[in-house]
Structure 1
Amino acid sequence: MLRTPGPLTLLLATVLFTATACSPDEAPPAAARPAEPDAPAQAPTPAQVTIGGQDEAETVQRWQPPAVQIDDAGVAQARRDAAKAFESGRLYEDATAALPIWLALLERDPKDRQAQAGIKRAKEQLLDEIAALLVRPLRQREAVAKAGEMGLVLLTLDPEDPRVRALQSRVELAQRVIAYNRAGEEDLRNDRIGEDGDGALPNFREALALAPDNERARQGLAASESALIRRAETAARAADFTGAGVWLAEAAKVRDSAPTINDAFERVERIRADTLVRLRDEGLRDLTSAQGLKPARQKLEDALRIAMPGDPVVAQLRERIELVTHYGSFRPGQVFSDALRDGGRGPQMIVVPHGGFQMGAAEGEIGASDAEKPAHYVRFDRGFAMAMTEVTVADFRRYVQASKARPRATRRGHSTVYDERSGNFMLRSGVDWQSGYDGSLAMANAPVMHVSVRDAEHYAMWLSEQTGRYYRLPSEAEFEYALRAGTSGRYPWGDEGTPPKGSGNFTGGDDVSPSGRRWFNAFVGYGDGWWGPAPVGTFEPNAFGLHDMAGNLSEWVADCWHASYRRAPADGAAWFNPGCRQRVIRGGNWANAPEQTRAAWRQSQDSDTTNARIGFRLVRGI
């Protein structure tokens, strides 16, 4: 069985040289010549020798000197030809080169000193040339191939010389290094980098194991690292940052502390950042279209998949989607007013945040009635805009004048007012929406009163026509949610019985009427400075930015009256039955008992009711 020899076999092999001598019957030539003068000179083909072992045979190459025939008359010329060939650097290539001639001379006369000296000089020359070829930085493959060819010549000349053996080992080592490098480069061309143990990286590492300073193998490792980095960047551009991280980790294993890895990591992170910015911007553009919420959410999902935790760009998109989901084009706490077609402005609105709350009175709450129970959870999945104050006399006047409306008290010719002389509420003729709590002319910035629930609904319809937006009375759940503004106590300000100073217009024990009257049932120690309703916005707003939710005037809401909350809507919608006569008012006022200022308080009123203690405000969808 034949196989390629290993370096030790080549080093230990003794290659026998056999020269072809002239036949004694042939006519001697005038000088050294090839064995067949009529045939063109050919480069010698390396011969082979088989070396036997106990279990195998190895076939190795050796140099076979071209045959040269020299007769007695041609010895001097042959010596001159050999010297000339040596000087021109032709040592072994064909029958006219120096070594074949000298070897032929030595075969003819083993004591030929000139031939012996020439062979010695040629050997030294070959040793020098091989050493120079092995360190040549460029065209290494050609250089090592040439060195290998020369090495075979030296093995023929002097196989036992330690220098020859050492140099031949270097040649073989260089050949193996080149073979590994070539295999690695071929793998790289075919994108077999070898991160799995089979490809370019193992080949270049084998080359460096043989020759730690081999620049070509080092460059191969660097090229393999670059190929892995390219894979990482390609994955990153495809938004596969998990894959990009895997390829970067593999690239980091190629060379210790390579600065290129840090640079590549920064490039991948820039790609990540640019991708997130692109997704955010595209998502924000989606949100400007009517049906853009779904594609924007897909952009957010894509961004979350590739972003690092806490990325601020993704947080911006998430926040905007949340806002659009719950507030459309608005944001919580935003204040606005819609333009009217006649050139004016509608009531000032504020966006109430979405959320949930426990509606109604808790079991055991002091002063609570069965109509306020059972307490139940209500959630608003979308925010809504609510008027910051009660509708004013000036707001209502614009509606009446523009629509030529005749509100209920105007048609009826009377309404219920507070009578200072008796200290009671009583009917008085000539009172309508233009009147104050005592029947006198109301100020423009006073909350409008003496209006029925239908008057309030007609105003909302007119305002909707004027603005192109949908205005309506708040649902009972919306009102209580806005009144509580995140609290859960008995009163809008908590469980304490006395309101904080300046918190609203309530029945205070320190309030005094124009004639010196005081409230019989009032918050002890509280005074707000007003006997009767105050101008809207006089007192501090609650946490949602709304004024007078718990005081000033009680307010109409959209719901029909139900004696309890059993089967009440859980989504905050108005509980309305078409044609119902009994409606609901919510929120305390300037002239009611402290128990009626509780957050859960509610009361039934006939839909035609008008008096000096009931007004209204509107909400708008967003």
Structure 2
Amino acid sequence: MPRPYLLLPALCLLGLTGCGEPSPAPRAPAATAAEPAPRARDAQAGGEATVTIGGQDEAETVQRWTPPPVTIDPAERAVARRRAEQAQREGQLFETSESAIPLWLALLEQDPQDRRARDGLQRAQRQLLVQARTLLAQPQQQRMALAEAAQIALVLLTIAPDNEQARALQRQVEVAQRTVAFNRAGEDDLRAGRIGEDGDGALVNFRDALALDPDNMRARQGLAAAESGLIGRAEIAARAGDFAAAGTWLAEASKVRDAATTIADAFERIEAIRAATLATLRARGLRDLATPQGLKAAGEKLEQAMRIALPGNADVALLRERIELATHYGSFRPGQVFSDPLRDGGRGPRMKVVPHGGFQMGAGLHEPGASDAERPSHYVRFERGFAMAMTEVTVADFARFVKAANARPRATRRGHSIVYDERSGNFIRRSGVDWQSDYDGGRALANQPVMHVSVRDAEAYANWLSEQTGRSYRLPSEAEFEYAARAGASGRYPWGDAGVPPPDSGNFTGSLDVSPTGRRWANAFIGYGDGYWGAAPVGMFKPNAWGLHDMGGNLSEWVADCWHASYRRAPSDGAAWFNPGCRARVIRGGNWANAPEQTRAAWRQSQDSDTTSGRIGFRLVRGI
């Protein structure tokens, strides 16, 4: 009886120990040398058999193809050839005993010189190569296709172990199977969120796949998906306001593929998110600043914006500037001019916002003309700006108060005040003089500074104005007055150290001034003249550097402080130094009849709180 065709040498397949680089997929433990070799598949169906090759330290399992057994009656060889040809035409090449290759092999077993069988077997090999290459090129269901291609390679290597095309096919199958395994592992990593930026995950698997097959489209698409995943993380971080993390993720994404345009597009999207976030923080911060207690909330918005902004960002700069302004000026700006409306339909005095800052208050140790009352010189800082009236309160301003409040100022009640007497050239008490009077007791003009008012009259006006406007008006502190009078300068006089005032700078005692009867000052600024003997209408002269008129001349002015003989223990924050019930108060600033030494920026003088005079007026400040 004819015997079955014997097995030819088998070659190893993908993923088995000793057959090249191992597959990344898990494999079953290899059989040991002591274990019996597994049996071949059913001999009727044909298939793969395995043998165990023992070594000192390990065992290796090797696969080979076993043709299904075929029995051919020598008298029926022609019939067997026709069956083989038919199977070959139908593409049934090796699977069963009725397939072409088992039949050709059986015919050659009986007659190795059978040229038709040998030719048929060669044609079958070529058909298998075509089938295998088609399977390798199949883009879908790759694992099944590769399994079939691997089976074909095993068949070819079994029947033609020295065929170079079969060996090349086996190598192609091995690479393809490993590539698919890497791609599948990478895709599993992507689904699990393991992109692999830390060196273990999808990126590693896809790169390993491309190392085997540089043109593998599936691996390239996998890298693109991994890159998209990293970009997605960057955008999620950006939307959460964590732009540091967004930058880190985008940097990782940029390493995935060379010169990918997607990175530039992602960067633009993230910068757009950053810009929108900063614009929102700026808008919310500015809204906070419009509320009474919003400064802290606006500061928190600025801190958030500074954490995420790039250097030089305009939104951060604007919000910082507005918070800085709000911190020191509320809703105002330094240098801003405004006038509050009154409830009766009028307007309050024109106010100027004085910048916040610090200065050295008082006279230096060696300042000519200074007294101990002006020392020690000390540093005062205003953490918040304030608004000061641009001029002294006018007669018209005060008249509105007297009428509306039905007030009776001190000189009116008392019936007299101190005026300049032209005949004697001295200051005397004169009856019938009050707030409506000029420096000499005559009728004052509406635009002249109000005089002949006590400090309590001035405070009563400030209280009335506060009620009318709903704002806090008051007399300035000594520190506020000197700070505003100096306007950033630090010299002996409000304008600096020059011994003569600049032209048109104020109403001072000048050697060129002449009284109505031809009197001149005995002690005056040499060569200076302003055209006035007595108080001038407000705002007639140039303002100082901060836009305030008559701070060093025209009238001396009441301030809020009580009199103290020196500045020892004086407040350093610019607040008024006030003791409830004190009668001795302070006037500041030179007037139209002061000696030059009394025009100095540090000059101060004590006055009884009931004093009224043709040389003393006042102006107000307002909190902002």
When normalised by structure 2's length, the TM-score is 0.91
The answer as to whether partners of 1:556 and 1:616 remain within 8 angstroms in 2 is: yes
Moved more, 458-467 or 102-111: 102-111
1:121-270 map, 5 Å: 121-270=123-272
Counterpart residue identity of residue 620, structure 1: R
Q: Which residue pairs with 2:362 in the alignment?
A: 360
Q: Distance in 2 between matches of 1:159 and 1:55?
A: 28
Structure 2 counterparts to residues 34-433 of structure 1, below 5 A: 44-51=46-53, 56-433=58-435
Measured in 2, the distance between the counterparts of 1:443 and 1:457 equals 22
Q: Secondary structure at the match of 1:605?
A: strand
Q: Deviations over 1:300-349 (max 9, x none)?
A: 11111111222110122122222222222222222221111111111111
Residue 508 of structure 2 aligns to which amino acid in structure 1? F
Equivalents in 2 of 1:207, 1:73: separation in Å? Answer: 54
Percent of aligned pairs sharing the same letter: 73
Correspondence list, 1:539-558, <5 A = 539-558=541-560
Find the partner of 1:534 among 536, 548, 555.
Answer: 536
* Mapped contact 1:7–1:172 kept (Cα < 8 A): no
Q: 1:435 to 1:138 in 2, by over 3 A?
A: same
Amino acid paired to 2:574: G
Partner of 1:565: 567
| Distance in 2 of aligned mates of 1:124 and 1:51 | 32
Question: Residue type matched to 1:4 in 2?
Answer: L
The structural deviation recorded for 1:607 is: 0.9
The ranges of structure 1 where at least 4 consecutive aligned residues each deviate by more than 6 angstroms after the TM superposition are: none
How big is each residue's C-alpha offset from its partner over 1:511-562, in whole Å with a ceiling of 9 and x where there is no partner? 2223332222111122222222221111222222211111111100011110
Asked if residue 579 in structure 1 is aligned to residue 581 in structure 2, the reply is: yes
1:582-621 alignment, distance < 5 Å: 582-621=584-623
In 1, the alpha carbon distance for the partners of 2:583 and 2:184 equals 96
The residue matched to 1:363 in structure 2 has which SS? coil
Task: Say which of 441, 444, 463 aligns to 1:442.
Answer: 444
How far apart in 1 are the matches of 2:299 and 2:318?
Answer: 13
SS at match of 1:63: strand
2:407 and 2:353 map into 1 onto residues whose CA distance is 29
Residue aligned with 1:550, SS: coil
- Measure the CA separation in 2 of the matches of 1:133 and 1:528: 110
Structure 1 CA distance for aligned equivalents of residues 117 and 419 of structure 2: 145
Q: Which residue pairs with 1:16 in the alignment?
A: none
2:478 equivalent in structure 1: 476
Aligned to 1:493: 495
Letter in 2 for 1:164: A
Distance 1:576 1:221 in 2: 77
Question: Which SS does the other structure have where 1:69 is aligned?
Answer: coil
Amino acid at match of 2:263: I
8 Å Cα contact 1:371-1:565 kept in structure 2 = yes
Helix, strand or coil: the match of 1:557?
Answer: strand
More displaced stretch, 413-422 vs 554-563: 413-422
Q: Are 2:47 and 2:67, in contact at CA under 8 Å, matched by a contact in 1?
A: no
Which of 12, 16, 36 does residue 4 from structure 1 map onto?
16
When structure 1 is superposed on structure 2, of 391-400 and 206-215 the one drifting more is 206-215
How far has the Cα of 1:5 moved from its partner?
3.1
Measured in 2, the distance between the counterparts of 1:114 and 1:220 equals 50
**Letter matched to residue 615 of structure 1:** G
CA contact (8 A) 1:551 1:588 kept: yes
Distance 1:256 1:195, change over 3 A: same
Provide the residue aligned with 1:14 in structure 2. none
Of residues 462-471 and 284-293 in structure 1, the stretch that sits farther from structure 2 once superposed is: 284-293
Q: Which amino acid aligns with 1:111?
A: Q
Count matched residues: 593
- Report the alpha carbon displacement of residue 54 of structure 1 after superposing the two structures with TM: 6.4
* Aligned-pair CA distance for 1:51: 4.2
Q: Secondary structure at the residue paired with 2:518?
A: coil
TM superposition shift of 1:146: 2.5
RMSD (CA atoms) = 2.1
Cα deviation for residue 199 of structure 1 reads: 1.1
Per-residue deviation, 1:35: 7.8
> 2:61 aligns to what SS in structure 1?
strand
1:120 & 1:195 partners in 2: Cα distance? 51
String of CA shifts for 1:165-201, please: whole Å, max 9, x gaps.
Answer: 1221121111111111111111111111222211111
Task: Return the alpha-carbon distance in structure 2 between the equivalents of residues 501 and 137 of structure 1.
Answer: 96
Shift of 1:106: 2.2
Matches of 2:395 and 2:80, distance apart in 1: 134
**What's the secondary structure of 1:47's corresponding residue?**
strand
Q: Distance in 2 between matches of 1:239 and 1:289?
A: 25
Give the residue type in structure 2 aligned to 1:5: T
TM-score between the two structures when normalised by the length of structure 1? 0.91
Give ranges in structure 1 of 5+ residues lacking alignment. Answer: 11-19, 21-33, 37-41
Gaps in structure 2 of 5+ consecutive residues: 1-12, 23-39
CA deviation after TM superposition for structure 1 residue 155, in Å: 0.9
Per the TM alignment, residue 128 of structure 1 is displaced from its structure 2 partner at its CA by 2.4
Q: Distance in 1 between matches of 2:399 and 2:464?
A: 12
- 3-state SS of the aligned residue for 1:365? coil
Q: Specify the SS of the correspondent of 2:66.
A: coil
Q: Which moved more, 1:230-239 or 1:76-85?
A: 76-85
CA distance in structure 2 between the partners assigned to 1:155 and 1:440 by the alignment: 132
The DSSP-based 3-state class of the residue aligned with 1:68 is coil
Superposed CA offset, 1:70-106 (max 9, x none): 3245433332222122112222233332212222222
Shift of 1:244: 1.4
